[in-house]
């Protein structure tokens, strides 16, 4: 039988892979070749980025031009806004108009008093009815069928005051 000799080591199977590669004798030529490859790669990368930016800008410009050519529906003539029914003037507005406006103040005070009564403000109605009677003619101070209950009561009270003044004086 063959005896294994212990003096001879077995060759390492990875030794060839782990061994340092043979470098060219001139290291400057290797550096120059590496620099040229790297420079070409960087320039190509820079050109690609520039080209991508130019393509994006051109696309935006073309999209803007395309929107100009899109037909638009014809503009409709402006319709006037629907008119709201104007709210009737408030009792305060009517009273101020009677106070400051020209003409027949008695009628305007009476209208303000009627509105105060509709708005459930009897104090305002009494004030306006009183001012109306102060401005009214003798015929308008008499109780009539068109008077409401509060105006009738005020006219009657004023007539009693007038009668009492005649009796007492």
pLDDT digits (tens, 9 = 90+) for 80-128: 777 777 888 888 888 888 888 888 888 999 999 999 999 999 999 999 9
For residue 131, which of 141, 121, 144, 143 has the smallest C-alpha distance? 141
Q: Return the number of other C-beta atoms located less than 10 Å from residue 32's C-beta.
A: 11
How much is the pLDDT for 169? 60
Q: Is the pLDDT of residue 1 over 70?
A: no
Q: Is the pLDDT of residue 144 over 80?
A: yes
Distance between CA 105 and CA 116 in Å, rounded? 16
Helices then strands, each counted (H, E), the chain: 6, 0
- In the DSSP assignment, the letter for residue 119 is T
How much is the pLDDT for 3? 54
pTM here is 0.49
Strand (E) or helix (H) holding 81: none
How much is the pLDDT for 55? 96
Contacts of 153-156 spanning 24+ positions with Cβ under 8 A: 154/126, 154/129, 154/130
Q: Is the pLDDT of residue 36 over 80?
A: yes
In this prediction, residues 55-76 reach a mean pLDDT of: 87
Distance between CA 107 and CA 135 in Å, rounded? 9
Distance between CA 122 and CA 163 in Å, rounded? 26
In this prediction, residues 138-159 reach a mean pLDDT of: 90
Name the average pLDDT for the chain. Answer: 86
Q: How confident is the model at residue 166 (pLDDT cuts 50, 70, 90)?
A: confident
């Amino acid at each position: 039988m063959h005896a294994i000799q212990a003096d001879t080591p077995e060759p390492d199977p990875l030794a060839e892979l782990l061994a340092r590669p043979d470098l060219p004798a001139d290291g400057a030529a290797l550096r120059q070749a590496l620099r040229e490859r790297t420079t070409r790669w960087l320039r190509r990368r820079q050109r690609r980025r520039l080209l991508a930016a130019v393509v994006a800008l051109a696309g935006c410009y073309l999209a803007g031009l395309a929107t100009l050519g899109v037909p638009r529906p014809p503009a409709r003539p402006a319709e006037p806004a629907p008119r709201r029914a104007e709210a009737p003037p408030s009792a305060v507005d009517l009273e101020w108009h009677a106070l400051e406006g020209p003409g027949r103040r008695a009628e305007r005070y009476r209208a303000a008093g009627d509105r105060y009564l509709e708005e459930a403000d009897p104090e305002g109605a009494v004030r306006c009815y009183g001012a109306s009677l102060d401005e009214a003619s003798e015929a308008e101070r008499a109780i009539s069928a068109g008077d409401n209950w509060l105006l009738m009561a005020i006219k009657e009270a004023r007539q009693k005051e007038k009668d009492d003044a005649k009796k007492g004086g």
